[in-house]
Amino acid sequence: MSKKFNILIINGPNLNLLGQRESSVYGTTTLADIEKFCRKRATSLGVELEFFQSNHEGELIDRIQASREISDLIIINPAAYTHTSIAIRDALLAVALPVIEIHISNIHKRESFRKHSTISDIAIGQIVGMGPKGYLLALDGGVNYLNDSKLDN
C-alpha cells in the first residue's frame, strides 16, 4: 500500500481566539471545532493531518522548517503575518512544499493593508471569505492537487 499523504495545517496569531474574537468577522466556530472537522475530513480522505497554531513568528517558522521531511503539503493561515512576514514566505520557499493559503474572512474586501499577502504568489491557490469551512475546501483541494501530481509522475 502506498504511503498516506501528510498534510500540515498551520494557523498564525490570534486564531487561538476564534469563537471569541470579532465574531462579526470570524464567526463563532472555535479553532478546536475547525481541527475536529478537519480531522474527520482527513480520515475520510485517507490522509494524515497535523494541526498547529502559534502566536509567534519564530515558532511558525520552526514548524514550517520541521515539515520538510514529513509533510507533502502545507495549508496555512498566517493571520496578520500574511501581510508582513517575509520570514514566513522564505521558510515556505525553503521547504519547497506545495502551499495553500487560507483566510476565514475575505481579506480583499477589508482594510487595504489586508489586501497584500507575502505568500499568495508562491501558493498553489488562496481560499478567502468562505468562513471556517474554507479549511475543508483547502483540504479537498490539497488532496486533489497531490493525487494529480502523483499521476503526473
Q: List residues binding ligand DQA (CB under 6 A).
A: 14, 77, 79-80, 82, 103-105, 107, 114
56 labelled catalytic: no
Whole-number minimum distance, CB 14 to ligand DQA, in Å? 5
Whole-number minimum distance, CB 124 to ligand DQA, in Å? 17
Between 131 and 140, whose beta carbon lies closer to ligand DQA? 131
Q: Which of 130, 26, 38 is nearest to 79 (CA)?
A: 26
135 labelled catalytic: no
Between 83 and 146, whose beta carbon lies closer to ligand DQA? 83
Between 6 and 55, whose beta carbon lies closer to ligand DQA? 55
Whole-number minimum distance, CB 33 to ligand DQA, in Å? 15
Whole-number minimum distance, CB 113 to ligand DQA, in Å? 8
Buried b (16+ CB within 10 A) or exposed e, 28-66: ebbbeebbeebeebbeebebebbbbbbbebeebbebbee
**Cβ-proximal residues to 118 (8 Å cutoff; 6+ apart), any chain:** 82, 83, 84, 85, 86, 88, 89
Between 131 and 150, whose beta carbon lies closer to ligand DQA? 131
Tell me phi and psi for residue 101, to 5 degrees. Answer: -95, 135
Active site residues: 26, 103
